[in-house]
Amino acid sequence: MPSANASRRSQEKPREIMDAAEDYAKERYGVSSMIQSQEKPDRVLVRISDLTVQKAGEVVWVRARVHTSRAKGKQCFLVLRQQQFNVQALVAVGDHASKQMVKFAANINKESIVDVEGVVRKVNQKIGSCTQQDVELHVQKIYVISSAEPRLPLQLDDAVRPEVEGEEEGRATVNQDTRLDNRVIDLRTSTSQAIFRLQSGICHLFRETLTNKGFVEIQTPKIISAASEGGANVFTVSYFKNNAYLAQSPQLYKQMCICADFEKVFCIGPVFRAEDSNTHRHLTEFVGLDIEMAFNYHYHEVVEEIADTLVQIFKGLQKRFQTEIQTVNKQFPCEPFKFLEPTLRLEYCEALAMLREAGIEMGDEEDLSTPNEKLLGRLVKEKKQSNSYDMFMRGEEILSGAQRIHDPQLVTERALHHGIDLEKIKAYIDSFRFGAPPHAGGGIGLERVTMLFLGLHNVRQTSMFPRDPKRLTP
Amino acid sequence: MPSANASRRSQEKPREIMDAAEDYAKERYGVSSMIQSQEKPDRVLVRISDLTVQKAGEVVWVRARVHTSRAKGKQCFLVLRQQQFNVQALVAVGDHASKQMVKFAANINKESIVDVEGVVRKVNQKIGSCTQQDVELHVQKIYVISSAEPRLPLQLDDAVRPEVEGEEEGRATVNQDTRLDNRVIDLRTSTSQAIFRLQSGICHLFRETLTNKGFVEIQTPKIISAASEGGANVFTVSYFKNNAYLAQSPQLYKQMCICADFEKVFCIGPVFRAEDSNTHRHLTEFVGLDIEMAFNYHYHEVVEEIADTLVQIFKGLQKRFQTEIQTVNKQFPCEPFKFLEPTLRLEYCEALAMLREAGIEMGDEEDLSTPNEKLLGRLVKEKKQSNSYDMFMRGEEILSGAQRIHDPQLVTERALHHGIDLEKIKAYIDSFRFGAPPHAGGGIGLERVTMLFLGLHNVRQTSMFPRDPKRLTP
């Protein structure tokens, strides 16, 4: 546990120790020895978000990162940060702090983790640069728990600066590769913290909604024996003395669960695509949120369940993650995400009629003027009158689903038509031989949905550790 | 939609159609054409679990599988099944059914899916073989929605028969390979339905508990650039023109999230081990439930959170999944799972003292008599006074965790000691260079926890589509 004695034992002896003889505050600061669970001090650490005027006058302990420090004569101002919250702290020469202690505080490297004891003081003028605007901490003790190296590969303040400010005011921003190469630091920014908290919320809302609808969560294997979806874009794995493959989607297994009477299933898990696409929306590994459901007479029963699930997710995010949405918007301004409840649903013929009404005959996509018209045009052209459906957010497709074939004869015919080796999907085809209910489903990519909901422009911003043809680290 | 006319269009014409001329019930049965979402009939399908005496006298539609059928003179008894529920149905020659219709019903292959219209009738004597014991369904119409092939690779009744009954009474049971080769049918049994519903509950309770404790769910990559944990037992993936590997655990990424200020994280996802172990408890791909958490002064803070999470899962299962537990117990009888709240925790020295008190000196494991003593003996021998911990269910280890090293210097030393190429874990080591809080964590295997909670004996029973060195399908 941190103490001045502990600092004596430390390998890194601060220069200040030289002056120890004349330092009346020498017990009140230092570099703590590494925490190795040797002691259980009876000390309560307070959250920075709880530092409000209600606590004014109280002496509290806080563990936080040194976000910034600025020495000014006999005092040093620190901004202490804990996730998305921060507070100003003042070390000033006086009863509690010596000039050596102020110097020590001023020399702590940014991003180091410190334990600070201080008195909460109400301030007269709001501190605009901190989340805790009405109080500051008057430091009485400060110990370094984990020291950061002096040179950071990127500055957190640069990493949250809106692009436009960077361009117009010539201030530094951080490019994507630098961010991703130093992801652990980039993830500490308020923007990243907000993105991934919201993403965690998407998974939570997806499961909450489906569990309430009576769906069962399943786990599907990722290593499969055959490149079952045609063989293109599939990663090969050395499996003992043979080859195996990474699943490009859980679809076949979801369907097998339907044939196994689970009726309504969902799963969340990694999906692998060996596609050499280097675009803003492609990853080689992403997280799939997948649904499959038996229906009674019409696949629209499934479309309605999926659409309602998306609506419940959007509503939940807007209700529970307003702070996070606003935090991301500060750096990446965008139109708020809009949706209808129930969702707007266009049938093939309605879309066609809308296009005609807009004076558009079914020509080339180039003839269509707005992106939405192009979208509709593409849809109308591509889609035959099939039992399939696409879903969109901000005009981009997020889900493509269909009624599946549940007849073993017809599955066999289609597989042959697509040149798939029947022997390789025997287990799949066999699932339909012993009674199979009609069913349909679909899947969405977690990273894409997060990106589109927040109006971001690159799926790498919404993957903690993105994988693409050129990036496999960190 | 199913209708007698539809049956005319069907490829498989039942023999009965030959007699159509003299058949007064000919519109009331048949093989429906494949459901292709052409119609949206205004028909409500009732759940079998809702067929109780309250519905006596009502005419209802039910979609279900034909579990068994038994013809007897002018009548045919069917057992209709929906997941873990079933009801007796009677087709008898009379006003609604002709002798041709009874014959048709009797000839429907087991496991076929049918739509049945019938009157709910209270019965005088309880039907012991069905879950709906107080009513039966008097069939007025019956259409085959999806036909099962006549020869089933395994019988569901055999698949739920307790081993001991098979042995003592010479009745058929189903061996594991037959089950797994025909998993879609094996998963339809009441036992399988119960196992995987309970497993879904474990995931739900794990996340619910941790979310309430302020943990954030993260998604970690499964394709990694280096065999980071020493290189043994790792699967190699062809990644475009290079090699990559499948993650053996999310540990490094969980730790990086801690260094990125997420403080408390969890994840659920596949874990890959290229271990050529063919035992009852090893899989090459399993589902890891992982936790990582920054602590203040002592790793016991983390041990307490993990232990409490397990207790909440066990309590939740016993509260919400009593029916499923009892269903599994019928086939696989076992002692109810017991635990203490808070969990029983033994320190190294306490375990040692217990062994001495039992008259056991620290000799070979062979000297110890009971399995529990052997366990303690092994523990005491293997564990030094390190900041690590193991957790157990029914005497089997389910979790092994430890305080992690959060100092880049020390991590480097340990990596070198274990012969790990530093260049390969650079991103990981770098995560500790810019301030890292002390932290600890651990992970449990979903299949093992399910197995031990239910007192089962093979992890393949609790993996829907298990993967081992010899099995990659279905």
Digit-coded pLDDT (tens) for A286-327:
999 999 999 999 999 999 999 999 999 999 999 999 999 999
**Is there a contact between B216 and A237 if contact means CB atoms under 8 Å apart?**
no
Q: What is the pTM of this model?
A: 0.92
Q: Please answer yes or no on whether B407 and A146 come within 8 Å at the CB atom.
A: yes
Mean pLDDT, chain A, rounded, equals 90
For residue A5, is pLDDT > 60?
no
Contact B7, B31 (CB under 8 A): yes
Q: How many residues does chain A have?
A: 474
Q: Residue A33: closest CA among chain B residues belongs to which residue?
A: B407
Q: How far apart are CA A402 and CA B297, in angstroms?
A: 54
Q: CB atoms < 10 A from the CB of A42, how many?
A: 6
Residue % of chain B over a pLDDT of 70:
89
B263-308 confidence digits (pLDDT tens): 999 999 999 999 999 999 999 999 999 999 999 999 999 999 999 9
Cβ distance B184 to A260 less than 8 Å, yes or no, reads yes
Q: In angstroms, rounded to a whole number, what is the distance separating the alpha carbons of residues B35 and A442? A: 19
Taking an 8 Å cut-off on Cβ atoms, the answer to whether A427 and B473 are in contact is yes
- pLDDT per position as a tens digit, A239-283: 999 999 999 999 999 999 999 999 999 999 999 999 999 999 999
CA distance B472 to A424: 12
Q: For chain B, what are the domain ranges? A: 42-146, 156-187, 190-345+389-461
Pick from A401, A412, A400: which is nearest to A439 by CA?
A: A401
Cross-chain residue pair B39–A296, CB shorter than 8 Å:
no
Candidate from A13-27, B83-97, B341-355 with smallest mean pLDDT: A13-27
Q: Chain B window 288-317: which residues touch A at a Cβ cutoff of 8 Å?
A: 296-300
The C-alpha of B367 sits at a distance from chain A's nearest C-alpha, in angstroms, of: 34
The chain B residue lying nearest A434, using CA atoms, is B148
For residue A444, the model assigns a pLDDT of 96
Is B418 in the active site?
Answer: no
Q: Can you read off the two tokens belonging to residue B413? A: 């030393």
So what's the pLDDT on residue A21?
A: 57
Tell me if A42-146 shares its fold with A190-345+389-461. no
A87-134 pLDDT per residue, tens: 999 999 999 999 999 999 999 999 999 999 999 999 999 999 999 999
Q: Is the pLDDT of residue B8 over 80?
A: no
Per-residue pLDDT, averaged over B456-469, amounts to: 97
Classify domain A190-345+389-461 by CATH number. Answer: 3.30.930.10
What does each C-alpha distance from A339 to A322, A336, A447, B222 come to in angstroms? Answer: 16, 10, 19, 33
Q: What is the percent of chain A where pLDDT is above 90?
A: 76
Phi, psi of A170 (to 5 degrees): 60, 30
Buried b (16+ CB within 10 A) or exposed e, A347-374: eeeebbeebeeeebeeeeeeebeeeebe
Confidence class for position B204, pLDDT limits 50, 70, 90? very high
Enter the CATH code of domain B42-146: 2.40.50.140
Q: How high is the ipTM of this complex?
A: 0.92
CA distance B253 to chain A (A): 9
The whole-angstrom separation of Cα B453 and Cα B455 is 6
Q: Is the pLDDT of residue B19 over 90?
A: no
Q: Is B305 a catalytic residue?
A: no
The residue in chain B having the minimum alpha-carbon distance to the alpha carbon of residue A269 is B269
CA distance B124 to chain A (A): 31
Provide the 10 A C-beta neighbour count for residue A155. Answer: 15
pLDDT higher than threshold 50 for residue B4: no
Q: What is the mean pLDDT of the segment spanning B211-237?
A: 90
Chain A residue numbers touching B155 (CB-CB < 8 A): none
Q: Is B216 on the interface with A (CB under 8 A)?
A: yes
Rounded to the nearest 10 degrees, what angle do helices A190-212 and B190-212 cross at?
150
Q: Range with the lowest mean pLDDT among A10-19, A362-371, A422-431?
A: A10-19
- The Cβ of residue B379 has, within 10 Å, a number of other Cβ atoms equal to 17
pLDDT digits (tens, 9 = 90+) for B382-401: 658 578 898 989 888 899 89
Residue range B458-466: mean pLDDT, rounded: 98
Containing H/E element for A389? strand A388-393
Least confident of A138-142, A420-424, B458-462: A420-424
The confidence score (pLDDT) of residue B353 equals 78
Note whether A9 contacts B: Cβ–Cβ < 8 A: no
Please name the residue of chain B whose CA is at the shortest distance from the CA of residue A36.
B298
